[in-house]
Structure 1
Amino acid sequence: MTYGTGEGAVHAVRSVDLEIPRGGFTAVMGPSGSGKSTLMHIMAGLETPTRGRVWIGDREITGLDDEALTVVRRRRVGFVFQAFNLMPAMDVMENVLLPFELDGRRPDAEQQAWIEELVARLGLAGRLRHRPGELSGGQQQRVAIARALAGRPDLILADEPTGNLDSRSAREVLELLGMACRELGQSIAMVTHDPRAAAHADRVVYLADGVVVRRDEAPAGADAIASAMLLLEEGTRA
């Protein structure tokens, strides 16, 4: 992905070949300016790559117009953000159903049963009529996860999902994301700067200067990830 032309061109992401496997939990890490956000935007169809091709599930999204991309994002991608991005005037269930509302449809019987299972698994069954302001940060992030999973998308993109949470709530949210992969077969790509968060993933992909420079399958824990990040940052500064 290149911004600008000529000598002023910035190559935000270059020659990245990355697959998020079904039922896989991938953490994406790298120093500031390494291309993490650009990569996530490309994966979500929010940015069109200068070169290359992008697929979400069995659908190639390269070259789709804005209207088609909007439909793809609503139906095939779920988002979990650091700031939760819940609608404050809506209660929990209304927030969970928001992707369906935006898409102009209602859940069918099978989808409704799935949503009810989700809110039960996420410990939200007793909070469905509460508004976000009546919930803790951890509970709000659970609602965001339920909303992301409600439509059974091909891919969940989580952008620093624990950044606004205390350590206990962060651990609970990461365990829930892990459960979504193991038990529900959900594919998750999580951008994070936190080695403790990345340690919950099945795989850690490291970016530097827009290039994938390292891939760790079954990472050995937060300390090992922190050491890898330190080496990466030192190499970037050198």
Structure 2
Amino acid sequence: MGLAARVVGVSKGYGRGQSLVRALDGVTVGLRTAEFTAIMGPSGSGKSTLMHVMAGLDSVDSGEVWIGDDDITSLGDSALTVLRRRRIGFVFQAFNLVPTLDAEANILLPFDLDGRTPTSEEQNHFLTLVDRLGLNDRLRHRPSELSGGQQQRVAIARALVTRPDIVFADEPTGNLDSRSGREVLSILSDASRNFAQTIAMVTHDAAAASMASRVIVLGDGRVVGDLGPSSAEQIASTTLRLEQSR
């Protein structure tokens, strides 16, 4: 199995001198293609920084960042913008839908931003996604007319519709009730399993992480755990043990 994204010896700090905070400290880790990976760790462990660096949203102080076989470490802003638009999908805790657009227009927004219309194959993929996500009767609704769970499903469809190399989800269930949260996690798991999408989800929730097939645990800017499929109890126990040993 190849790697959809990887970092090699990456370090990233914020601030200077006495106020320097080392968010990542020589991290080397890869995200395997078509795998659903959860990234966990306590507040300040570096998990969000790792996601932002891998997605080309933040630069690194040292080390290398790769998307597939392409080294993106030194790409300029315009090149990174195009790369993110065409090869990376995002699902945010706050949904980030355009309030003036209906659900269909929000889902298809990546094509508009890229200045093109979907091919017939891409249109069929859109219809498949909409059907699988239960959004057929919500396509003409604006975000304000949708529940939180429905808005997040629209955001997931938008992230998946162009079949990007990798989808990053930042605390995607944080603003949802437990039922909607479980639905969203199931959808992300299905996207990995049925569409061979690579999903990387940042979360602090062991129950959410248990839906993933791999759990990477960060502590003090370093990878301190790398688990296979695990129950919520196993994940919580492991993360607690790792925190206590710091």
After TM superposition, the score normalised by the length of structure 1 is 0.95
Could you tell me which runs of 5 or more consecutive residues in structure 2 were left unpaired when the two chains were aligned.
1-11
String of CA shifts for 1:136-176, please: whole Å, max 9, x gaps.
Answer: 11111110000000111001000000011111111111011
Q: Secondary structure at the match of 1:48?
A: coil
1:85 maps to what in 2? 96
Q: Are 1:195 and 2:206 matched, yes or no?
A: yes
Can you list the C-alpha shifts for 1:102-131, whole angstroms capped at 9, x where unaligned? 222221221111111111111111111011
Q: 1:7 deviation in Å?
A: 4.7
Distance in 1, matches of 2:13 and 2:93, equals: 26
Contact 1:204 1:216 in 2 (8 A): yes
**AA at the equivalent of 1:133:** S
Letter of the 1:78 partner, please give it: G
Whole-angstrom CA distance in 2 between matches of 1:208 and 1:195: 15
What are the equivalent positions in structure 2 for 1:98-117 lying under 5 Å apart? 98-117=109-128
Shift of the 8–136 alpha-carbon distance from structure 1 to 2, 3 Å rule, reads: closer
Cross-structure match for 1:225: 235
Task: Report how many residues are paired.
Answer: 235
In structure 2, distance between residues paired with 1:12 and 1:232: 18
Q: Residue in 2 aligned with 1:47?
A: 58
The 10-residue stretch of structure 1 (223-232 or 145-154) with the greater mean CA deviation from structure 2? 223-232
Percent of aligned positions that are identical: 60
CA RMSD of aligned residues (A): 1.2
Please report the TM-score for the alignment, with normalisation by the length of structure 2.
0.92
Q: Counterparts of 1:69-84 in structure 2 under 5 Å?
A: 69-84=80-95
Alignment-mate amino acid for residue 79 of structure 1? F
Structure 2 partner of 1:129: 140
Q: 2:245 — aligned with what?
A: 235
**Pick aligned residue for 1:26 from 33, 37, 44:** 37
The structure with the greater share of residues assigned to strand is: 2
Q: Which amino acid aligns with 1:206?
A: V
- Distance across 1 between alignment mates of 2:123 and 2:71: 28
Q: Map 1:164-203 to 2 at 5 A.
A: 164-203=175-214
Structure 1: unaligned runs, 5 residues or longer:
none
Aligned residue for 1:218, secondary structure, equals coil
